[in-house]
């Protein structure tokens, strides 16, 4: 078909630029392996990093578990209308807008000998471990209305528990260490373990259908009970075996009212830039992601769903291990490198990968479509791994301005904005296929115009959003040198008694 001839792909100039930039990063990485600037007192023991990684996997499972499995179980098995499922998830995000900042404020203002984060981690882990399997215990004989009510009630209850655990975990992660480099090492452990979750979810529904369980719902109840136990064990271990590094500092600060704390987060310029960077990267990854499956099935394989599914399995099986490998390498060898440079390198790779979709998704060479994800995955992994580390830097910047540590509030606001924007992006993506004129009844014989729009949007909408994100990274002010200055100033302030640092004398950028 003539409308499936993509032309040849020439990006040698862009590749050369990225190669030179990568060479610069490698030089810094080589320097970092021989000379670390992290003080011994700022280093987190390897065992504690592993425990934080396990806590991160527990949080990932609580955040994404229900959303990954709900359609398969409640729609495909129980027959619940998918519009009802989507409505429940949308309502949960509105509920999160209340509970996330509230939990952040409660955690920040807690004064306990057990800490500000760990008591809520413990309670949240216990509740999530018990609550997760209960979501799947709906009686199969109920009518659609009763099933819908059960799903809504169980989902709202569980995500309330997940807020208690997730907000506390993100706050603890943010304050694990004051060191610029060690923050990257810690977050690399967490992201590595969280990636394991993306290997677990695809197996759950498949395993639940094994004959030994008697029924799919019986299998789901057994498997999710095991998952709940895993969440409980990992979360409780994280609560009991980690330390809060800023406990003494936070104990001396005033309690900040909820609304004042929320306003403070939205007046912090680095935080707003960080939010913008994340949102545009999320748009780049998710808004038109659905088109990739349809282009694979219908444009490349002319409606042969079985052949298209095979490629999908190959890409999924490659991307997660590659992401884990990249995170491990970057966390170990590149921790000393300026975070902005790692971000820019990762986003540049993501940009090249998404542009390459225009040329690599072609029926003449079906396996070429594996190449763009292999380019993009390392870039996306570098990017998302660093976000918690960057948020920790923002909290130092905020303390310089306000004299308070508010990791809970910054983490909760950031998390909710990302969850809300993700929901909006997914909602928009559902209308894109309709807008481009895709007709499933035509199979692979879609119009030339439809295929052009699908390919164009899939390649260049993410490209534009990533470019905007790159511009915001360039504007982001918290460099390695600036963070060193901020830390020195904060440590100087902490040794001076009875000083009101809510009124800093100098302008801080």
**Does the pLDDT at position 470 exceed 60?**
yes
Which residues, in sequence order, are CB contacts of 488 under 8 Å at separation 6+? none
Three-class secondary structure of residue 178 per DSSP: coil
The better pLDDT of the pair 359, 433 is held by: 359
Specify whether the CB–CB gap between 300 and 506 falls below 8 A. Answer: no
**Does the pLDDT at position 79 exceed 50?**
yes
* pLDDT confidence of residue 45: 94
Q: What is the mean pLDDT of the chain?
A: 86
Q: What domains, with CATH codes, occur in the chain?
A: 42-252 (1.20.1250.20), 260-501 (1.20.1250.20)
Whether the full predicted model's pTM is greater than 0.85, yes or no, is no
Tens of pLDDT along 305-322? 777 777 777 877 788 889
Q: How far is CA 133 from the centre of its chain?
A: 23
Three-class secondary structure of residue 405 per DSSP: coil
**Does the pLDDT at position 423 exceed 60?**
yes
Q: Which residues of 252-282 are buried (b: 16+ CB within 10 A; e: fewer)?
A: ebeebeeeebbebbeebebbebbbbbbbbbb
Q: How far is the C-alpha of 264 from the C-alpha of 277, rounded, in Å?
A: 19
Specify whether the CB–CB gap between 238 and 58 falls below 8 A. Answer: yes
User: Mean pLDDT lowest for which of 32-36, 126-130, 336-340?
Assistant: 32-36
Q: 121 vs 56, 58, 281, 379, CA distance in Å?
A: 12, 11, 29, 31
Name the pLDDT band for 20 (thresholds 50, 70, 90).
Answer: low
Q: How far is the C-alpha of 238 from the C-alpha of 131, rounded, in Å?
A: 19
3-state secondary structure 185-222: HHHHHHHHHHHHHHHHHHHHHHHHCCHHHCCHHHHHHH
Rounded (10°) CA dihedral 402, 406, 412, 413? 0
- What number is the average pLDDT over the span 341-354? 93
**Does the pLDDT at position 3 exceed 50?**
no
**Helix and strand totals (H; E) in the chain:** 17, 0
- What number is the average pLDDT over the span 323-336? 90
Three-class secondary structure of residue 297 per DSSP: helix
Which residues, in sequence order, are CB contacts of 130 under 8 Å at separation 6+? 228, 232
Name the pLDDT band for 27 (thresholds 50, 70, 90).
Answer: low
- What number is the average pLDDT over the span 408-423? 88
Q: How far is the C-alpha of 438 from the C-alpha of 449, rounded, in Å?
A: 10
* pLDDT confidence of residue 26: 52
Q: Which residues of 208-227 are buried (b: 16+ CB within 10 A; e: fewer)?
A: beeeebeebbebbbbbbbeb
Tens of pLDDT along 144-190? 999 999 999 999 999 999 999 999 999 999 999 999 999 999 999 99
């Amino acid at each position: 078909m003539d409308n499936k001839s993509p032309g040849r792909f020439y990006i040698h100039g862009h590749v050369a630029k990225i190669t030179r930039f990568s060479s610069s990063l490698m030089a810094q990485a080589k320097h970092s392996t021989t000379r670390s600037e992290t003080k011994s007192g700022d280093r987190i023991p390897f065992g504690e990093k592993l425990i934080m990684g396990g806590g991160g996997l527990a949080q990932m499972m609580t955040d994404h578990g229900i959303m990954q499995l709900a359609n398969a179980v409640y729609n495909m098995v129980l027959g619940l209308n998918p519009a009802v499922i989507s409505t429940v998830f949308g309502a949960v995000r509105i509920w999160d807008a209340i509970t996330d900042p509230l939990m952040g404020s409660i955690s920040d203002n807690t004064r306990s000998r057990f800490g500000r984060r760990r008591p809520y981690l413990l309670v949240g882990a216990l509740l999530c471990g018990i609550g997760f399997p209960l979501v799947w215990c709906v009686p199969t004989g109920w009518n659609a209305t009763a099933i819908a009510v059960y799903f809504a009630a169980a989902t709202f209850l569980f995500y309330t528990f997940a807020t208690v655990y997730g907000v506390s975990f993100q706050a603890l992660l943010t304050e694990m260490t004051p060191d610029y480099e060690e923050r990257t090492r810690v977050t690399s452990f967490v992201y590595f373990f969280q990636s394991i979750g993306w290997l677990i979810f695809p197996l759950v529904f498949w395993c639940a259908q094994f004959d030994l369980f008697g029924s799919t719902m019986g299998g789901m109840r057994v498997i999710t009970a095991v998952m709940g136990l895993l969440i409980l064990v990992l979360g409780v271990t994280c609560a009991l075996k980690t330390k809060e590094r800023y406990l003494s500092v936070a104990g001396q600060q005033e309690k900040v009212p909820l609304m004042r704390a929320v306003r403070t987060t939205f007046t912090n310029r680095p935080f707003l830039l960080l939010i913008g960077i994340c949102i545009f990267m999320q748009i780049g990854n998710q808004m038109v992601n659905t088109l990739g499956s349809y282009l694979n099935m219908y444009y490349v394989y002319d409606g042969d769903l079985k052949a298209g599914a095979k490629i999908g399995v190959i890409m999924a099986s490659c991307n997660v291990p590659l992401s884990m490998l990249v995170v491990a390498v970057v966390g170990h060898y590149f921790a000393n490198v300026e975070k902005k440079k790692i971000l820019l390198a990762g986003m540049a790779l993501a940009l090249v990968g998404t542009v390459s979709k225009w040329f690599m998704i072609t029926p003449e060479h079906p396996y070429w479509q594996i190449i763009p994800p292999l380019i993009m995955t390392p870039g996306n992994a570098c990017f998302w791994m660093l976000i918690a580390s960057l948020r920790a830097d923002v909290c130092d910047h905020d303390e310089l301005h306000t004299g308070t540590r508010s990791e809970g509030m910054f983490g909760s606001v950031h998390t909710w904005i990302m969850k809300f924007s993700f929901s909006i992006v997914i909602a928009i993506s559902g209308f894109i296929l309709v807008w481009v004129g895709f007709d499933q009844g035509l199979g692979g014989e879609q119009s030339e115009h439809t295929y052009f729009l699908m390919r164009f949007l899939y390649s260049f909408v993410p490209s534009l959003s990533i470019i905007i994100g790159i511009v915001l990274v360039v504007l982001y002010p918290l460099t390695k040198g600036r963070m060193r200055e901020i830390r020195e100033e904060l440590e100087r302030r902490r040794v001076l008694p009875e000083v009101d640092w809510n009124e800093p004398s100098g302008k801080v950028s």
